[in-house]
Chain A
Amino acid sequence: MSSEKEPLFSAKNLKLITTPLGAQNPITIQVLGICSALAVTVKMEPAIVLSISVMFVTVFSNLIISLLRNTIPARIRIIVQLVVVASLVIIVDQVLKAFAYEVSLQLSVFVGLIITNCIIMGRLEAFALGNKPWPAVLDGIGNGAGYGFILIIVAFFRELLGTGFLTLPGLGAIQIVPDIFYQWGYANNGFMILPPMALIVVGIIIWVQRSRDKDLIES
C-alpha cells in the first residue's frame, strides 16, 4: 500500500474516462459491441436507453470483478465474469419490470442482449481483473459512454435520414424534416433503416476519426 493517496480525479484517473471516448473508443477503434450498435440504432430512443443500461452494467461489473480480482481462480475467471454480468443484467431487467414497467417494455429484448455485448467482457478481462475498484469504475463509465456516444450518433443519422423523425425518451417522435421538403421532392432514404446502413455509418465515423487523428493509422 502506498502511503500517498492518489486524488480521486487525478489526471491519470480522468484519462480512464476520456480515452474511451476518443482514441480508444470501444466501437470505432477496438471494434467491440458492433452487433448491438447495428441492431438498436434505427431509432434514437432505444439507442439512448440501451446506452444507459450498458453503462450501468459496465460500471458495476467492473466494480464487482475488481473487488473480487484477487480471489478469482484464473482457470474459471471467464465463467465468473459471465455470472456477474448475467446477474447484473437480470437484476436490471427485474427492477425495470417492477419499477419502470413502460421503459422495460420499450427495451424488451435489448436488456438481455447486454450480456452478449463484447465491451463488457472485454473491459473485465483487460482492465478490471488487474486494477483497483475506483479506476475500474471510471473505466466502466468511460467505456459505457464511449459506446453510447457512437450508438447515439449512428441512431441520429439513421433515424433522421431514414424517417425524417427523431424519437427521444419522454418526448416521443418529433418530426425534424418539414413537410415542405417532401413537397419539393425530398424523399426519406428507406435504406437507412435497414441494418447494412448502420455498418456504413459506423464505417464513415471510423474514417472521419482516423483522418483527423493520424496516430490511429496503422503503418
Chain B
Amino acid sequence: MDRQGNTYTFLYASVMVIVVAAILAFLAQSLKPMQDKNEAIAKKMDILMSVQIESTAADAEAKYEKYIGENAYVLNNNGEKKLGAEAFTVDLAKEVKKADSDRAFPIYECKMDDGSVKYVIPVRGKGLWGPIWGYVSLEDDKNTVYGAIFGHKGETPGLGAEIATAMFQDPFKGKKLFDQSGSFASIEVVKKGQSQGDLHKVDGISGGTITSVGVGAMLQDCLSGYEKFLKN
C-alpha cells in the first residue's frame, strides 16, 4: 500500500489511536484499586500526622483503627451529627463549593495514648496553581490548635510548596481559633515576621504570598462551619 497515501494515513492514525486507547484504558483500570488504596492510606497518614502520630504506609491503617476507628462523623453547620454519613468518604472538593447549610462537615475524634481527645478537621482551598488541603487538629478545649499539616497539588517548589514543610506548619501549634470574647477569629497567614505573639496569626512564606493567603482563606472558609460544634 502507498505509505504516503490518504488511505494508509487514515488507517494508521485510527489503528494507533485504538491501540493506545486500549493500552491506557486497561492500565488505568487495572491500577485503579492500588491507586485508590494508596490514596486512602495517604489520607490516614495525613490525619494521624496532624495529631503528631508518625506512621508509615505499612502501619497507617492499623494505627488509624487504634486511635480513631469509628470515631469519625459528619456534622451539619449547626453542629449536629448527620446520621448515615461516613466522614472518611466525604469529598471535600465538592463540599467546599456548596452553601454552608447543605455542606457536610467531617470531623475525626482521636483518642490519644494519654487518654486525651483531639479533634481533627479536614480543610481544602485554593493555592496559586491548584488545590491545597490540610488537616487541623484541636486540643480537647476545641479551641487551641494541637497540630496542622498541609498538602498541595502543584505549588511552586521552594515557594508555595513550603506550606507542606514543618517550618510553615509548626507555628500553628498553640494558636487559637476563638478570641477572648469567644467569637470565631480563625488563623490568618500574614507577611513574614508580622505574626509575633499574636494568637490568630502565623507567618507566611516570602515569594509564596498567594499560596500563604490561600491557606488563611481555606482555614476561614472550612473552620467557620464548625463554630457551633466547637463552642459546645
Contact = CB atoms under 8 A, between A and B. Distances in A.
Interface of A: 40, 42-43, 46, 71-76, 79-80, 83, 87, 90-91, 94-95, 97-99, 101-102, 105, 108-109, 159, 162-163, 190, 193-194
A87 B12 contact: no
A42 to B, nearest CB: 3
Contacts of B151: 105
B3 interface: yes
Contacts of A46: 157
B153 A108 contact: yes
A162 B206 CA distance: 13
A73 B157 CA distance: 41
Contacts of B16: 80, 83
Interface of B: 3-4, 8-9, 12-13, 16-17, 20, 23-24, 27-28, 31, 34-35, 38-39, 41-42, 57, 129-130, 151-154, 156-159, 206-207
Nearest to A108: B154
5 contacts: A73-B8, A76-B9, A101-B42, A162-B158, A163-B158
B24 A97 contact: no
Contacts of A101: 35, 38-39, 41-42, 57
Among B8, B17, B20, B129, the one with the most A-chain Cβ atoms within 10 Å of its Cβ is: B20
A71 B16 CA distance: 11
Contact of A87 (B23, B130, B207): B23
A94 B31 CA distance: 7
A95 B26 CA distance: 12
Nearest to A84: B20
Contacts of B4: 73-75
A90 B24 contact: yes
A99 B8 CA distance: 39
A212 B28 CA distance: 49
Nearest to B34: A98
Given A46-B157, A71-B12, 19 more contacts: A42-B157, A42-B158, A42-B159, A73-B8, A75-B4, A76-B9, A87-B20, A90-B24, A90-B27, A94-B27, A94-B35, A95-B31, A98-B31, A98-B34, A101-B38, A101-B41, A105-B151, A109-B129, A162-B158
Contacts of B158: 42-43, 159, 162-163, 193
Given A75-B4, A108-B154, A193 B159 contact: yes
B3 A71 contact: yes
Contacts of B34: 98-99
A109 B8 CA distance: 37
Given A95-B31, A193-B207, A83 B57 contact: no
B157 A75 contact: no
A2 to B, nearest CB: 24
B73 to A, nearest CB: 27
Contacts of B130: 109
B3 A190 contact: no
A76 B12 contact: yes
B104 to A, nearest CB: 26
B42 A42 contact: no
A79 B13 contact: yes
